[in-house]
Chain A
């Protein structure tokens, strides 16, 4: 059932999101071509156009991310908390699967979005050299680097989950208000994110005093892994907390509009 839910979740926004990603790549290619043309012809008009379209490309990348965020909020709101929720919540599936389907699909879009944005910047700046691939991959598959890379990827995925679950939890908490739901959701977001930052700062401070200052880096080569593992634990705990808030709100306090 989770796969079926994800299938329809993909269908709901795929056309819009794929068009956005396509536009991002297309704009970068146009820029690159203008750049090449400009170098070849050295025409002032092309130089101005090129600068303008470079700015446009960067704006498009930012706009795509803002739109992606807007779509994530809108999709959860519409399909879970508003009228479409009458269908969503009467399907013979668990509340957990409803949340997870939204979470996984949105995360996949964000991860693809990240890859597309990197690709756009690479095309735009021509900062990629194919001859660099082999040494890069050789370096990557050294055990230490690979371990760090896996930890970084886990950290990144958990950070995406955590951010999305925070959004879902805040939107769900908005159901406690009979009116001004958006205001309550925003208030909850502000309060929870401030608290998270505070806890994160305390954790960092503790880490630096207890762990690093007391230990010589030379005697403690695993420092980066310890830091990443602490980060993974920190993000995992918050993911579980936000997931439980969302699940309990949808299960016990559902108030559809």
Chain B
């Protein structure tokens, strides 16, 4: 069964078409790179999957459910912004996730926090931007979700932190789960991907197994991307 399926997915913002008739199917257990230049519709697609936006046309289902309460139980989402309330302590936010997500593993989250030397009693206000992003990632990856939607998880952090984040994603994912990683830092994530979906101006221009793509083009995905989107 497909974890995520969308048919004819279209999203317009007024007269601007952000997504134009997307047909995407993500199978279980795959790590998918959602690639594309700025404004190609990556974040819009991820927001639609989370029910943060309503499609103009088309359908989207997650494990057979339309975006809603049931789908939200299955999806673990990392947005591209810092969304945690500053007044909360790390322990408060752990309690919050424990209260709302039955699949949240607090023990696992505490282990990951300890490895980063982030104390439970620290307020989020006192953490650096990078550490806040790591806390968000830890919260997301400590869930045993069916689908992880990660929007620019390595966009705002230094290269050393990127390695930590990627290894956290790979080590902690539920192996039946699928992960969609939206980014334009392709070279950093290429080694962990199974599939690649490339968006351009709201349309899918390529959806392929990464090994097949490499064989076809004889080059890395990063080099292929640079070639396609050369300015």
**Which of B51, B82, B100, B101 lies in contact with A83, CB distance below 8 A?**
B82
CB distance A12 to B85 under 8 Å?
yes
Residues of A within 8 A of B79 (CB): 86
Surface stretch bound by A, among B27-35, B67-75, B105-113, B180-188 = B67-75
Question: Which 6 pairs show the lowest CB-CB distances between chains A and B?
Answer: A86-B83, A92-B72, A86-B79, A92-B73, A83-B83, A4-B99
A64 contacts chain B at the CB level, 8 A cutoff: no
A91 contacts chain B at the CB level, 8 A cutoff: yes
B192 contacts chain A at the CB level, 8 A cutoff: no
Chain A residues within 8 Å of B, Cβ to Cβ = 1, 4, 7-8, 11-12, 78-79, 83-87, 89-94, 251-256
Q: Taking the nearest CB of chain B, how far is it from the CB of A172, in angstroms? A: 14
Residues of A within 8 A of B54 (CB): 251-254
A-contact bits for B74-90, CB 8 A (1 contact / 0 none): 01010101111101000
Chain B minimum-CB-distance residue to A93: B69
CB distance A90 to B52 under 8 Å?
yes
Q: Taking the nearest CB of chain B, how far is it from the CB of A101, in angstroms? A: 12
Interface-central residue, A8, A92, A94, by most chain B CB under 10 Å: A92
Other 6 A-B pairs with CB < 8 A, given A86-B83, A254-B52: A1-B100, A87-B83, A90-B51, A90-B77, A93-B69, A254-B54
CB distance A90 to B81 under 8 Å?
no
**A92 CA to B75 CA in the complex, in Å?**
10
Tell me how many residues of B have a C-beta within 8 Å of chain A.
23
Chain B minimum-CB-distance residue to A5: B100
**A255 CA to B79 CA in the complex, in Å?**
14
Chain B minimum-CB-distance residue to A251: B54
**Which of A83, A93, A255 lies in contact with B81, CB distance below 8 A?**
A83
**A84 CA to B77 CA in the complex, in Å?**
13
Residues of A within 8 A of B92 (CB): 11
Residues of A within 8 A of B100 (CB): 1, 4, 91-93
Residues of A within 8 A of B72 (CB): 90-92
Task: Check A254/B69 contact, CB under 8 A, given A4-B99, A83-B82.
Answer: no
Q: Jot down 22 A-B pairs with beta carbons below 8 A, ordered by A.
A: A8-B99, A11-B92, A12-B85, A79-B85, A83-B81, A84-B84, A84-B85, A86-B83, A87-B83, A89-B52, A90-B50, A90-B52, A90-B77, A91-B72, A91-B100, A92-B69, A92-B70, A92-B73, A94-B69, A253-B54, A254-B52, A254-B53
A-contact bits for B31-63, CB 8 A (1 contact / 0 none): 000000000000000000011111000000000
Chain A minimum-CB-distance residue to B76: A90
Q: Taking the nearest CB of chain B, how far is it from the CB of A78, in angstroms? A: 8
**Which of B83, B87, B96, B101 lies in contact with A92, CB distance below 8 A?**
B101
